[in-house]
Amino acid sequence: MAVTKSITDTTVAGKENSDEQTLLVKLFKSLFNVPPIVSNNNDVINIINNTQEQVIKKGMIDPESQKSLISYYETADIETVREEEVIRKLLEIIYEVRNIRHQKIKSLLQSQRSSTFLKLLQVTATRIPVWFPKHDEQPPPLCGAIEPLPSYVAKSGDLVAALVKQSGEERWIVAEAVAFKNGKYEVEDIDVKEINRNFTLEKIYVKPLPLMRADPVTCPDAFFPCNEFVLAMYPQTTCFFKALVKAPPKTSYDGYEVLFEDDFNQYTIMMVVSQRFVVSFPSQEILHKDDEMMVEY
């Protein structure tokens, strides 16, 4: 049986490596499409700037110059859209590669020592893609601090924050969604050291973690503001605790600067927590749930 599992794992790993190599080759070839487009766009922009300078010197715009500028602007708009499409396709390939590597990390999480396990968990925070808007597009649910829709259900394998009872006390943990049946989630604690790892929970006791990182430049509203309470994963653990936001991320790669609240309503020193592991603070009725609402399976 062990031999069969080993062969299966090796086959899956081999396919993942093959898929990753195929994508990397595709990415390498596609990158050569970018410089000519950028160069062409720069040429059009230079023509526009030169034409405008001539109009300014004349102090007026003649019909011919006006017609030329309109044509150049239309060309620039078309070429910019083309450049954006090429770059977005490149990003899609990069995200596919990251996803393959993320799956490898997930399998490693189950077999590593505590310190390595926590480092790998932090790496997963940088594997989720950054959301880039098109024109005036608003950030979608689960981008940064944007809440999921009420009807949303986390997919099997997605990470969530789950309110469970372990060792006689309730705690919010990082868990993996296993299934959603009859209005309830089946989740598994990602910390393999825990004895009780599997739980069946009402939907209100599960918070899906962000699937995309937000960028402060393109979507500043997709962040929790300063002085707002949140649930944040305490560094070097897999548990979430109440924290006060002191500064949102400055870039898409930065984390929140937060102060964790202890049992005596005092605050810790400033700590940094990745966007991936910060979610909205739950309502009071969720904080003290009935034991009957949580069942181990």
**Token couple for 192:** 């393999």
Q: Are 40 and 78 in contact (CB under 8 A)?
A: no
Per-residue pLDDT of 265-286, as tens digits, reads 788 889 999 999 999 999 866 6
Per-residue pLDDT of 206-217, as tens digits, reads 999 999 999 999
DSSP structural state of residue 265 = S
DSSP structural state of residue 263 = T
SS3 112: coil
Q: What is the pLDDT of residue 291?
A: 46
Q: Would residue 227 be called left, alpha or beta, if left means φ above 0 and alpha means ψ between -120 and 50 degrees?
A: left
The string of DSSP codes covering 116-155 is HHHHHHHHHHHHSPBP--STTPPPPTTBTTPPPPTT--PP
* 105: pLDDT strictly greater than 70: no
Q: Are 69 and 52 in contact (CB under 8 A)?
A: yes
